[in-house]
Amino acid sequence: MRARVGVVVAALLLVIIAARGRSPVVFHPPPKDPDVRDTLTPGPQAPQSDVSTEGSGVPFLILLLVVAGFVVFGLIGMALAISFTRRRTRGERGVEIVERETPAAPSFQHQVARALIEIRSDRPPKDAVIAAWLTLEEAHPREPHQTPTEFTTTLPADTKTLRELYQRARFSDEPITAEHASQAERELERIIRELA
């Protein structure tokens, strides 16, 4: 950013230095006689005097100071805008962010036992299968990008059958029967035996 400001300032200094030179253009005022209608016939012409801009240094200096003032104010405005955006992206808005410790997840074996309670609860088989799976997810949190299939590879036990029952209950139009719920219950009992 400082390099950009340096380039802008250098370019402005070049413009200022170039503007201090003399102009090769000479100003010729129009003829003073307004009744001259025929410009094709040569007649006596009023003597033309070269008007010099030698004495007009003060207005140019004022113009130069005004332009320099605009440039300075513009640079100050750019600096303030940049510092404001940097401060805002750092989170300095008067709100203190406090990091909290997340409680440790219950053991997987404990969550399987809770899932077994969910599957044995007095609810429809579809709801019981979904509740049992969601209880397992509490033991080993599933990342937002993970599918149920990817999630089962991170678990310490084989939950393929339970995952298939969950997917059927959650995403399929096929009815989930009491037989499906008892199959999920048997799978949870098997997992508890394997983890013991």
Distance, CA of 165 to CA of 163 (rounded, Å): 5
Beta bridge partners of 27: 51
- Decide: 50 and 25 in contact? Cβ < 8 Å: no
Q: Are 114 and 132 in contact (CB under 8 A)?
A: no
Residues 6+ apart with CB under 8 A from 166: 129, 130, 132, 133, 148
Q: How far is CA 141 from CA 90, 110, 134, 160, in A?
A: 30, 14, 10, 17
Report the pLDDT value the prediction gives residue 77, as an integer from 0 to 100: 86
CA distance 130 to 120: 12
Return the residue matching tokens 């509490």: 138
CB 112 within 8 A of CB 188: yes
Pick out the chain residues at pLDDT < 50.
none
Q: Which amino acid is at 54?
A: E
**What Cα–Cα distance (Å) separates residue 81 from each residue in 7, 45, 69, 88, 93?**
19, 61, 18, 11, 16
Token representation of residue 188: 């949870």
- What confidence score (pLDDT) does residue 49 get? 54
pTM of structure: 0.46
Q: Domain ranges in the chain?
A: 1-19+60-78, 108-195
**What b/e readout covers 110-140, taking b as 16+ CB neighbours within 10 angstroms?**
ebbbbbbebbeeeeebbebbbbbbebbbebb
